Amino acid sequence: MDIKERINELKARKNAVILAHYYTPFEVQAVADYVGDSFYLARIAKSSSADIIVFCGVKFIVESAKILNPDKKVLMPDVTADCPMAHMADLKKIKEMREKYPDLAVVCYINSTAELKCHSDVCVTSSNAVKIVKSLPNKNIFFIPDKNLGRFVAEQVPEKNVLLNDGFCPVHAAVSKNEVLDAKKKYPDAKVLSHPECEKEILDISDFIGSTSDIISFASNSEAERFIICTEDGIEFELGTSMKDKSFLFPATRPCCKDMKLNTLEKLLYVLETEENEITVDDEIRERALLPLEKMLELGRSK
């Protein structure tokens, strides 16, 4: 049996399901039962009837799956896969902001630690942040941890006072404007599609801004045939397999998240075999972090 056959045999025998983010290696996405962006994967994790969830992503996404599914065994191929941005907010600042603005809603991008979620009112992902912030009754919003997504949301919801935090995604923030303009010079017909975690100077020269799944839908529904993609390069697997007649280019320095890429096929097989790398969340943290996650699922339901 080759590695894929062994994964499929173990999956069936153990009633396990494999979830993978669009940024994981191509071969991992190819064996996964569900591939998607953070919001889609959170919803799948919540509704899964499998006994074991093997989640190929980074710690904050996998932790969220465990918080939503306390009775399931949730495994991670590599427990060191962590998102640096998830740690880029602090509790002291949240406390100060709450004191300064009594009506404050702390809106927490799902790319954050469970501890930060415990101190937040609602979670969001890049695919539902605008909709959820719009639906909140609060005027003052403290958006943590990503300043770039926060600024993008603020522009879409001018009726709110969105206060920004200083966090950022090192992968998206490194996308170079000159490299995007070079690609555009070479292919003037190409549409620039960007993730809102990119810096403002990239969003300002983009034809479309959206989450990974929104980028895929936009490309699929567009008349254009060529696209310059400003997000993590794992998305190329879905773009390339579902739209063979279109071409997808990346800036010369391809955005690549080394943490997402820690999810290899070999490690996936290993955790399915051994059931090691189980993710646990302390009960008190789980109960508190569940509230903003459930609120997100409720407010984001119609999408």
In whole angstroms, the minimum distance from the beta carbon of 266 to ligand SF4 comes to: 21
Q: Is 111 in the site for ligand SF4 (CB under 6 A)?
A: yes
Q: Which phi-psi region, left, alpha or beta, contains residue 282 (left: φ > 0; alpha: ψ -120 to 50)?
A: beta
DSSP helix/strand/coil, 298: helix
In whole angstroms, the minimum distance from the beta carbon of 82 to ligand SF4 comes to: 8
User: Between residues 113 and 206, which has the closer beta carbon with respect to ligand SF4?
Assistant: 113
CA 176/CA 19 separation, integer angstroms: 31
Burial label, 281 (beta-carbon count in 10 A; 0-12, 13-18, 19+): middle
CA 285/CA 290 separation, integer angstroms: 8
User: Between residues 171 and 193, which has the closer beta carbon with respect to ligand SF4?
Assistant: 171
Q: Which residue bears the tokens 């400003």?
A: 230
Cβ atoms 123, 293 nearer than 8 A: yes
Q: How many CB atoms lie within 10 A of CB 195?
A: 29
Q: Is 84 in the site for ligand SF4 (CB under 6 A)?
A: yes
Q: Which residue is nearest to ligand SF4 (CB)?
A: 83
Between the CA of residue 13 and those of 2, 33, 156, 169, what are the distances in Å? Answer: 17, 15, 47, 38
User: Between residues 63 and 197, which has the closer beta carbon with respect to ligand 13P?
Assistant: 197
Q: How many residues bind ligand SF4 (CB under 6 A)?
A: 14
Q: Is 58 in the site for ligand SF4 (CB under 6 A)?
A: yes
**Contact of residue 164 among ligand 13P, ligand SF4, none (CB under 5-8 Å per partner type):** none
Give me the residues that bind ligand 13P (CB under 6 A), please: 37-38, 83, 111, 125-127, 169, 197, 211-212
User: Between residues 85 and 272, which has the closer beta carbon with respect to ligand SF4?
Assistant: 85
Q: Is 268 in the site for ligand SF4 (CB under 6 A)?
A: no
Q: Is 232 in the site for ligand SF4 (CB under 6 A)?
A: yes
Q: Is 257 in the site for ligand SF4 (CB under 6 A)?
A: yes
Residues in the chain: 303
CA 279/CA 49 separation, integer angstroms: 18
Binding site for ligand SF4 (CB under 6 A): 23, 58, 83-85, 111, 169-172, 232, 257, 259-260
